[in-house]
Amino acid sequence: MRTERYGPATDQVADLWLPDGDLPETGWPVVVLVHGGFWRHQYVRDLTEPLARDLARRGFAVWNVEYRRVPPPDRVIPDEDRGGWPNTLLDVAAAVDALADLDAPLDLTRVAVVGHSAGGHLALWLAGRSRLPAGAVGAAPRLVPTVAVGLAPVADLRRGERDGMGSGAMADLLGGASSDVPERWDLADPVQLVGHGVPVLLVHGEDDDSVPLAQSEAYAAAVTAVGDEVELLVDTCEHMAVIDPDEPLWQRAAAWLEQRCDAAPAHS
């Protein structure tokens, strides 16, 4: 594993994990991992490090992304290091686009974006970037993902706002309620960007009391309505179980990634 920088801000870094074993002729398929934590500053990419290790064993190169997050109101952070609108979205977009410039044997025709919770929001938003209007934050991607996986994702921001999810986390991210800055909510909401054509897997626990199953169900319904491909895996588990490599839901998600990206295990 090595840490690479994709921008000048403190948190514009990502860890690149490469598998052991024989290099495929076209390079390693790639998984971009985006951690959760309701976009708040105290949560960092070590949350998804166990998945990075598991995916590397399965034959994936892994790009475990850090990004600028929303600081608490009483914390003094330089403006260039503050997350929220638009920096959080700009960061994950830049991190994916930076794959094209890495000095590593990557197969950029096989790139999955995978995110958990608020990171699931960002992963699904990354899948929908091609739907953004010209000039919008994150528009004109250099690299379009092959597939996307939302692990207990925040997939419908306005529904989350109505449900009081995250104690105002969506408004903190976007700098105002949906009634105050509706254009930001439109551009940042994955459910508004369906029709992108990227196959999506949603993974959710029935016992999730942080991000309700209704979030994934709403996104799946929106994707189905426009005729794109989506699959929803549900089991009886809680919010953090979907990022535990030993849990059945993650193992099913990883197997789906292996199949879709034609990955081969790095170890026999």
In the predicted model, is pLDDT for residue 268 greater than 50?
A: no
Sequence-ordered strand ranges (E) for the chain: 2-5, 13-17, 28-34, 61-65, 106-116, 147-151, 200-205, 230-235
Q: So what's the pLDDT on residue 238?
A: 96
| Residues 148/199, Cβ–Cβ less than 8 Å | yes
Tell me how far apart the alpha carbons of residues 123 and 127 are, in angstroms, rounded to a whole number: 6
Give tens-digit pLDDT for 11-61.
Answer: 999 999 999 989 999 999 999 999 999 999 999 999 999 999 999 999 999
Percent of the chain with pLDDT over 90: 94
Say whether 234 sits in a helix, a strand or coil: strand
* Residue 195 backbone zone (phi > 0: left; psi -120 to 50: alpha; other: beta): left
Domains contained in the chain, CATH given: 2-261 (3.40.50.1820)
pTM comes to 0.97
Tell me how far apart the alpha carbons of residues 118 and 124 are, in angstroms, rounded to a whole number: 10
Percent of the chain with pLDDT over 70: 99
In the predicted model, is pLDDT for residue 209 greater than 80?
A: yes
In the predicted model, is pLDDT for residue 93 greater than 70?
A: yes
Range 251-267 average pLDDT = 87
Q: So what's the pLDDT on residue 263?
A: 75
Q: So what's the pLDDT on residue 26?
A: 95
